[in-house]
Amino acid sequence: MEYFAGIDIGSTAIKIAIVDGTGRLVGHRVSASGSMFYKYAQESLAQLMAEVGVAPEALRYTVATGYGRKLFKEADENISEITANAIGARAAAQEHGEIKTIINIGGQDSKAISMDSEGNVVNFAMNDRCAAGTGKFLDVVARNLEIGVDELGEYHFKSTGTPLSINSTCAVFAESEIIGLLGNNHRVEEIVSGVHYSIAKRIVKLVKRVGIHEGIYFDGGPALNNGLVNAIENELGKPIFVPAFPQITTSLGAAVLAWESYGYESGEAV
Amino acid sequence: MNARNDHTIETPRERQGRHKAMEAVKVLDTLREYAVNPPEAMAYFYELHRRYHCDMTPMHEGKTKVGTMCIQVPYEVIDALGAAPVRLCNGFYTDDEIGGEYLPSKSCPLVKATVGAFATDHFADTPDLVVTPTTCDQKTKATGIVEEMGYPVYEMEFPRVKESEESREYWRRSVRNFTKTLSKELKTKLTRGKLKASIRKVGYAQTLYHRLNALRKAELPPISGNDMFLVTNAFFFDKTEAWSAAVERLLAEMEERVKEGIGAARKRSPRIVYTGSPPIFPNLKVPQLIEMADAVIVADESCSSNRLFNDMVSVDEWFLYDMVDAVADRYLKGCTCPVFTRNDDRIRRIVELVKEYSADGVVYQAFAGCQVYEMEQRSVLAAMEKEGIPILYLESDYSPSQLGQLTTRVEAFVESLKSRKRRQ
């Protein structure tokens, strides 16, 4: 059996996906990027291969993506996370139907991608110079509120009052705004829903730049947060599709590309 | 369709409502947070704004609602004919963004916000009839846009020269025609008794305002300028009797405070006269910055506040036609709006306010896109310089995020006033 890997090295997490000779996902792994991207990526790949039972010689082709992609020297190929994300979303949403728009929120950036019906990227917009409204921002918020990141969704749905506006467009200033709200005895629930809406409004502006088309897919770690999903749906006024493993879409895209590339490389028809 | 989420999605209307509620709550919370000795009687106004703007609770059920697009529409006439006047001038950034689709990007946020509310029919009190006087260009041109949206609109012709006898007669005719049309529309006859009662009712509210405002001359003003804007803005939509009753309670509390020497600021806080484009809830951005910077607004010259109450109807003969003309005169002669060719009255009033209220300086805010206020700043700044009154000119809009720059400028101005005070 032949296997193909996609490795997505992000600012916060390393995501690896392995597909088999039919392009089907057989295993995935998410681990912290930490301080030594290259070493941790290698270790994580070895561990995943052991879990899935892939012998080193069976791994035929590897594609690296994400902003640490150049660091992974063993990769056969590098591609940008925009392309990988588009391919991955198409693969992950096969049963769901056509995807036209992707919202991706990562550890330190956010993106909106629009695709044609072939799955080609038509347009994209990125907010990559500022951590406001990213996963890092959610970490900071959770830490200030002394709750876990995984509890944010729960608090969001428990909110009964008007969500509190967070108007600062900078993560650092927003943090002091939140501390101020806490100091004024506001409930954590309304602060959390306010934070989600402030992120949602910002991402919707980004999506509007590329055009909002039905078939909206949301991925990246923060897509695990149901409260944020709810806020984005409300701001868009449209349903969005969140895959079962929103963190690994981009690495899946890289793995699918590895599988396709290998077919072309070895001259087989895929 | 979605394994992870199965919640319902807000309708665009619900989303707009939530956005507006978020804006309103933010302002009310911030005001509470920075309040020095908050008055108990203010609770009515905080709750009123919350109910009206967050819960969208209508105030005039069962009455015909006449929406006014500008301060120049005679309130007394509408009230005397048994309808409810509701001022539609809007301070919401949410509606401003919506209205931006109908107007040029460089137009006034107030007009954009007002049009935005019409575009989405998002009112606590939906107007049955809309009245637009031909005052500033943007409100004049918004008439057609609002009409296209399917609202019944009545335009009142308003002159652009204040002093001439021709204007006076022209405006009186406008008010008479408006009275006749509205009377037909509402199938109600205007009588002497009804108009007299309305003039009295509005006059009483104005008296209360003047008494409350005069207390701000004290060394320690008993009420903050922002609270005062909440009170005056509430007049836009509250029932007049309810408003007057609430202001009576506030007045009693404030009189006590002045006796006891309790204030809404510190003795060292520089005293400011606010003028320019009108602060309309929840857009109290600049007034809030002023008072957060440890200054206190002691008076204002603006159409969302002082100008509503400043001049009363002055009747010679209590006959119906004389009263209608007297109402018309109040609105033209008392108006200090920069739409007029010359506006010496406004400068005179600002200087007067500075002297009467022992103000240390003036803050003049113009909305980006509010041409007449932007243009008039030259003459006002020159006049203040002549009088030796420090003045800060600011341009702003409704967006909530650009506070950084404004904060720095306001704080620097307040600090300069403080050091002037120390030197005196």
Please indicate, yes or no, whether residues A28 and A116 belong to a single structural domain of this protein. no
* Distance, CA of B383 to CA of B366 (rounded, Å): 17
Contacts of B4 in chain A (CB under 8 A): 226, 229, 242, 244
Q: Say yes or no: A13 and A137 in one domain.
A: no
Burial of B166 (0-12, 13-18, 19+ CB in 10 A): exposed
**Residue-wise pLDDT tens digits, B157-190:** 999 999 999 999 999 999 999 999 999 999 999 9
Distance from CA of B366 to the nearest CA of A (A): 22
B173/A contact by beta carbon, under 8 A: no
Kindly report the length of chain A: 270
Q: Are residues A228 and A130 in the same domain?
A: yes
Is A244 within 8 Å of B33 when comparing Cβ atoms? no
CA distance A101 to A103: 7
What tokens were used for B57? 């609770």
Please report the pLDDT score of residue A132 as a whole number: 81
CA distance B124 to B147: 20
Q: A13-20 and A25-32: which strand pairing?
A: antiparallel
**A270 in any annotated domain:** no
**Residue A208 contacts B where some CB pair is shorter than 8 Å:** no
Residue A270, pLDDT above cutoff 80: no
Q: Are residues A119 and A229 in the same domain?
A: yes
Q: Which domain holds residue A31?
A: 3-93+248-265
User: Half-sphere exposure of residue A123, counting CA atoms within 13 Å on the CB side?
Assistant: 12
Query: Could you give the number of structural domains in chain A?
Result: 2
Q: Is A109 helix (H, G, I), strand (E, B) or coil?
A: coil
Question: Would you say residue A126 lies in a domain?
Answer: yes
A233 vs B contacts (CB less than 8 Å)? 5, 7, 9-10
Q: Do A114 and A81 fall into the same domain?
A: no
Residue A225 lies in a domain: yes
- The CB-based long-range contact list for A128-132 (8 Å cut-off, 24+ gap) reads A130/A169, A130/A170, A130/A171, A131/A171, A132/A168, A132/A169, A132/A170, A132/A171, A132/A174, A132/A202
What residues does B296 pair with on adjacent strands? B271
Q: Output the pLDDT for position B28.
A: 96
- Which of A99, A165, A166, A236 to mutate against chain B (most B CBs within 10 Å)? A165
* Together in a domain, A133 and A41: no
Domain check: are A17 and A68 in the same one? yes
Residues A230 and A257 in one domain: no
Examine the domain organization and report whether A108 and A236 are in the same domain: yes
**Beta strand ranges found along A47-141 (DSSP E):** 59-65, 77-78, 101-105, 110-115, 121-127
Inform me whether the C-beta atom of residue B35 falls under 8 Å from chain A C-beta atoms. no
- Model pTM score: 0.85
The rounded distance, in Å, linking the Cα atoms of B362 and B270 is: 10
Question: Taking a C-beta distance cutoff of 8 angstroms, is the pair B11, A153 a contact?
Answer: no
Distances (CA, A) of B263 to B36, B212, B222, B410: 8, 14, 4, 22
Taking a C-beta distance cutoff of 8 angstroms, is the pair A165, B400 a contact?
yes
Task: Report yes or no: B5 at the A interface, CB cutoff 8 Å.
Answer: yes
Does one domain contain both A118 and A199? yes
Q: How far is C-alpha B113 from the geometric centre of its chain's CA atoms? A: 14
Q: Looking at the complex, does the CB of residue B6 fall below 8 Å from at least one CB of chain A?
A: no
Residue A206 belongs to a domain: yes
Q: Measuring CA to CA, which residue among A144, A166, A164 is closest to residue A156?
A: A164
Residues of B in contact with A169 (CB under 8 A): 401
CB-based contact B11 A237, cutoff 8 Å: yes
Strand A59-65: give its sheet, edge to edge.
A25-32, A13-20, A3-9, A59-65, A77-78
In a domain, A190, yes or no: yes
HEC per residue, chain B? CCCCCCCCCCCHHHHHHHHHHHHHHHHHHHHHHHCCCCCHHHHHHHHHHHHHHCCCCCCCCCCCEEEECCCCCCHHHHHHCCCEEEECCCCCHHHHHHHCCCCCCCCCHHHHHHHHHHHHCCCCCCCCEEEEECCCHHHHHHHHHHHHCCCCEEEECCCCCCCCHHHHHHHHHHHHHHHHHHHHHHCCCCCHHHHHHHHHHHHHHHHHHHHHHHHHHCCCCCCCHHHHHHHHHHCCCCCHHHHHHHHHHHHHHHHHHHHHCCCCCCCCCCEEEEEECCCECCECHHHHHHHHCCCEEEEEECCCCHHHHCCCCCCCCCCHHHHHHHHHHHHHHCCCCCCCCCCHHHHHHHHHHHHHCCCCEEEEEEECCCHHHHHHHHHHHHHHHHHCCCEEEEEECCCCCCHHHHHHHHHHHHHHHHHHHHHC
Residue segments in chain B with a per-residue pLDDT below the cut of 70: 1-7, 402, 404
Q: Does A176 touch chain B (CB under 8 A)?
A: no
The per-residue pLDDT for B420 is 86
Q: Does A209 reach chain B within 8 Å, measured CB to CB?
A: no
Considering only CA atoms, which of A69, A42, A86, A67 is closest in space to residue A134? A67
**CATH of residue A36:** 3.30.420.40
Calpha distance B415→B276 (Å, rounded): 22
CA distances from B100 to B70, B107, B121, B173, B399 (A): 19, 8, 15, 35, 12
Residues of A in contact with B1 (CB under 8 A): 96, 239, 241
Instruction: Looking at the structure, tell me whether residues A171 and A200 fall in a common domain.
Output: yes
Task: Decide if A242 and B25 are in contact by the 8 Å CB cutoff.
Answer: no
Contact B10 A194 (CB under 8 A): no
* Chain length of chain B: 424
Neighbours of A53 (CB within 10 A): 11
Task: List the 365-404 stretch of B: residues with Cβ below 8 A of A.
Answer: 400-401, 403
Please answer yes or no on whether A96 and B1 come within 8 Å at the CB atom: yes
Q: Please determine, for residue A264, whether its predicted confidence score (pLDDT) is greater than 80.
A: no
pLDDT at B402: 63
Maximum average pLDDT range among A90-104, A128-142, A170-184, A218-232: A218-232
Closest CA–CA distance from residue B157 to any residue of chain A (Å): 41
pLDDT, tens only, A92-116: 998 888 999 999 999 989 999 999 8
Counting residues of chain A whose pLDDT is more than 90, the rounded percentage is 76
Query: Residue B163 contacts by C-beta under 8 Å, 6 or more apart in sequence?
Result: B342
Q: Is there a single domain that holds both residue A192 and residue A119?
A: yes
**Euclidean distance between CA atoms B184 and A25, whole angstroms:** 75
> pLDDT at position B1, please?
40
Interface test with A, best of B6, B8, B9, B285 (most A CBs within 10 A): B9
Phi, psi of B39 (to 5 degrees): -70, 145
Residue A158 belongs to some domain of the structure: yes
Interface contact flag, B7 A165, Cβ < 8 Å: no
pLDDT, position A267:
63
Substitution target from A154, A156, A158, A162 for chain B, most B beta carbons within 10 A: A162
